[in-house]
Amino acid sequence: MTNQTIPPKPKRRRGLLTTEARDAYIFILPWVLGFLAFTAGPMLASLYISFTRWEIVTPSKWVGLQQFGKLFNDDRFWLSLYNTSYYVFLGVPLHLLMALLAALAINLNLRGIRIYRTLFYVPSLTPVVANSILWVWIFHPQWGLANSFLSRLGIEGLYWLQDPRLAKPALIIMSFWSIGGQMVILLAGLKGIPMALYEAADIDGANTWQRFWRITLPLLTPALFFNFIIAIIGAFQIFTQAYIMTDGGPNYSTLFYLLYLYRAAFENFRMGYASAMAWVLFVIVLIFTLIQFRLSDRWVFYEGDLRN
Amino acid sequence: MLSTNSNPQLLNSELAVRSRTRRRAIDGAWAIFWYIILSLIALCLALPLVWLVSTSLKTGAQTFVMPPIWIPDPFVWENYPEAFRAVPFGKYFWNTAQIVVFATMGTLFTASMAAFAFARLRFPYREQIFLLVLSTIMLPSIVTLIPTFIVFRWLKWINTLLPLIVPLWMGGGAFNVFLFRQFFMTIPYDLDEAARIDGASSYRIYWSVILPLSKPVVATIAVFSFIHHWNDFFQPLIYLQNPQKWTMAIGLLGFKDLYSTSWNLMMAASTAMLLPLLVLFFFAQRYFVGGIQMSGLAGR
């Protein structure tokens, strides 16, 4: 016998692909077109634009690395990067910690806990514009809720959004109000932890504290990791709060990266400069994400690891 | 991994059973302790909302009183119609509604199509292409902003709703593709095989077998898409400069610029923008939960 193989399942073929594969490519076609038109294409285009000088109305002119040179000599650029880093590296971990505490609280087996779940979640539904306007009012130095409470504690006259030292912390405090989204993702993670592990721990006589550190927290690390990555990428692009509440002030203390980029692109029409900024941010976020993935081996625990 | 493969409704009942049997309900002194902690957090989170609604019903004079008045006296319901007369919120609502409806339709349609291919069909480079889809979740959208703006400007789409709708008809967002795929993979493959033996094409299977079985995930993604487009600020800010085309979000900002000291009217307009979301939340609560559980599993 020659090396005749088993005849393949009869498939209708047209050209090189099976009907199934051809259909599949048609199904993903909208996504592929979208990817080319709104992701890959624009990414390459913005890289090209970052090497040009272009004010939209005038023809673009190739200037090589000049925009990047200008960028790195621009104090405002570094200030916006500092402000954004402050918000990202202080705000995101605190926000995640708050969301974790809230998730642990609403995971308790208490009567009426559903009401608390709803109460904790609802604020995060508030549209960001409404949210920003509301918090300008809360932080109002004279008539705001925040100072009214603090005055009872004997702290008077904070200027929150008008004080360069307090504006960023104020925005971070404000972000705690909308922990709802992250909280429920973490709650789902908590619910997904197999009960058998807790039962086994109970038999071994573990106390609540040990159960938390040895079971709950390690098994929650994948959800924490996922939330952390997505939250960091989102926080690097903080814009709306600063645009509406402080307009970058006072004294540029809330001039965040995206706000500065927005001004360069859509108020001053410096497309080359803004594109250079966009690529610098992209590289920063990419490097940061890769570091996170690398470090995740050390602290993120996957259930599958038990079996391996 | 097992949990990834069960559909959210099964998951819900499974969870309910689990939490009932997990541990005895906490009682006695500890229960009281936890209720106090929970109520304190709830109070902190609820106060800004109460303050929002309370301010929206005050007279102008009552907003400027220290210490603050919590219960307005009288209740000025007139603030709401007044806010709506001050700027054309009706028009903004209509613009927003169009975006929400058409963008959501595009998202549901094209994201589910792509997900169907990734979950149910075999084709060369499937895994690699799906990895590409996933990696775009982590792409900061800012890097594509400027060329996209320039292209839409060249197409003369600035000040039309098209830039806010058309991209959603081209893939509908990587995360939604991911959620659809997760759900589709829970549907038994025997159904496809049986349908194929009966002579059904892939299109037929997608439309008549898989989609009708996927109502929970369709509802979940529809709800999240609604919220996203209702709340979106950045995209409308860039593409809609003509006040005739403004959305609710941009209109609210315009309102703020005009009435910057009428806090009661501003709070009334803000409350009005939040209200439809609250109504949606209370009617579609289970889809929120379903979607969140699916996305929670994204971390695994």
Could you please report the per-residue DSSP string of B84-137? HHHTTHHHHHHHHHHHHHHHHHHHHHHHHHHHHHHHH---TTHHHHHHHHHHGG
Q: What is the mean pLDDT of residues A199-225?
A: 88
pLDDT the model gives residue A40? 92
Residue A207: pLDDT above 90?
A: no
- Class in CATH terms, A67-307: mainly alpha
Contact residues, chain B, for A20 at CB < 8 Å: 121-123, 202
| pLDDT tens for each residue of B110-153 | 999 999 999 999 999 999 999 999 889 888 888 999 999 999 99
Question: Half-sphere exposure of B203 toward its Cβ, with a 13 Å CA cutoff?
Answer: 5
Q: Which two tokens stand for residue B81?
A: 């119609």
Radius of gyration in angstroms for the set of CA atoms belonging to chain A, rounded to a whole number: 26
Do B77 and B142 contact (CB within 8 A), yes or no? Answer: no
In a domain, B192, yes or no: yes
**Domain limits for position B187:** 87-258
Residue A10: pLDDT above 60?
A: no
- What H or E segment, with its residue span, contains residue B290? helix B285-296
Confidence of residue A12 (pLDDT cuts 50, 70, 90): low
What secondary structure does DSSP assign to chain A, as a single string? ---PPPPPPP--EETTEEHHHHHHHHHHHHHHHHHIIIIIHHHHHHHHHTTEE--SSSPPEE-TTHHHHHHHT-HHHHHHHHHHHHIIIIIHHHHHHHHHHHHHHHTS--TTHHHHHHHHHGGGGS-HHHHHHHHHHHT-TTT-HHHHHHHHTT-----GGGSTTTHHHHHHHHHGGG-HHHHHHHHHHHHTS-HHHHHHHHHTT--HHHHIIIIIHHHHHHHHHHHHHHHHHHHHT--HHIIIIITT-STTTT--HHHHHHIIIIIS--HHHHHHHHHHHHHHHHHHHHHHHHHHHHH---THHHH-
pTM score > 0.95 for this model? no
Residue B4: pLDDT above 60?
A: no
| pLDDT tens for each residue of A126-169 | 999 999 999 998 998 888 888 888 888 888 878 899 899 999 99
| Least confident stretch, A182-191, A261-270, B47-56 | A182-191
Q: What is the mean pLDDT of residues A9-15?
A: 52
Contact residues, chain B, for A23 at CB < 8 Å: 117, 121, 201-203
The tokens 């004294």 sit on which residue? Answer: A251
pLDDT > 90 fraction of chain B, expressed in percent and rounded: 42
pLDDT the model gives residue B84? 86
Residue from B242, B230, B94 nearest A130 by CA: B230
Confidence of residue B226 (pLDDT cuts 50, 70, 90): very high
Report the CATH number at residue B163: 1.10.3720.10
Q: What is the mean pLDDT of residues B227-239?
A: 92
Q: For residues A18 and B14, what is the distance between their CA atoms, to the nearest angstrom?
A: 40
Nearest to A31 among B66, B121, B133 (CB): B133
Nearest to B230 among A37, A38, A127 (CB): A127
Three-state secondary structure string covering A91-125:
HHHHHHHHHHHHHHHHCCCCCCHHHHHHHHHHHHH
- Average pLDDT over all residues of chain A: 87
Cα–Cα distances in angstroms (integers) from residue B256 to residues A132, A208, B97, B252, B260, in the given order = 11, 50, 21, 6, 5
Contact residues, chain B, for A50 at CB < 8 Å: none
Q: How many domains does chain B have?
A: 1
**What's the burial of A104, exposed, middle or buried (CB within 10 Å: 0-12/13-18/19+)?**
middle
Q: What is the mean pLDDT of residues B186-212?
A: 91
| Least confident stretch, A5-14, A292-301, B41-50, B141-150 | A5-14
Confidence of residue A276 (pLDDT cuts 50, 70, 90): very high
Which chain B residue has its CA at the smallest distance from A180's CA? B45
Confidence of residue B257 (pLDDT cuts 50, 70, 90): confident
Q: Could you tell me which residues come within 8 angstroms of residue B148 by beta carbon, excluding any fewer than 6 positions away?
A: A38, A42, B163
pLDDT the model gives residue B148? 92
Do A125 and B274 contact (CB within 8 A), yes or no? Answer: yes
pLDDT the model gives residue B220? 86
- Average pLDDT over all residues of chain B: 84
Residue B288: pLDDT above 80?
A: no
Residue B19: pLDDT above 50?
A: no
In a domain, B61, yes or no: no
Interchain CB distance below 8 Å, B113 and A25: no
pLDDT the model gives residue B7? 40
Nearest to B143 among A35, A184, A282 (CB): A282
In a domain, B241, yes or no: yes
Q: What is the mean pLDDT of residues B236-251?
A: 92
pLDDT the model gives residue A259? 95
pLDDT the model gives residue A236? 92
Q: What is the mean pLDDT of residues B198-212?
A: 92
Angstroms from B300 CA to nearest CA on chain A: 6
Residue B282: pLDDT above 90?
A: no
pLDDT > 90 fraction of chain A, expressed in percent and rounded: 44
Q: State the DSSP code for B232.
A: -
Contact residues, chain A, for B299 at CB < 8 Å: 185, 189, 222-227
Query: What backbone torsions phi and psi does residue B57 show, to the nearest 5 degrees?
Result: -110, 10
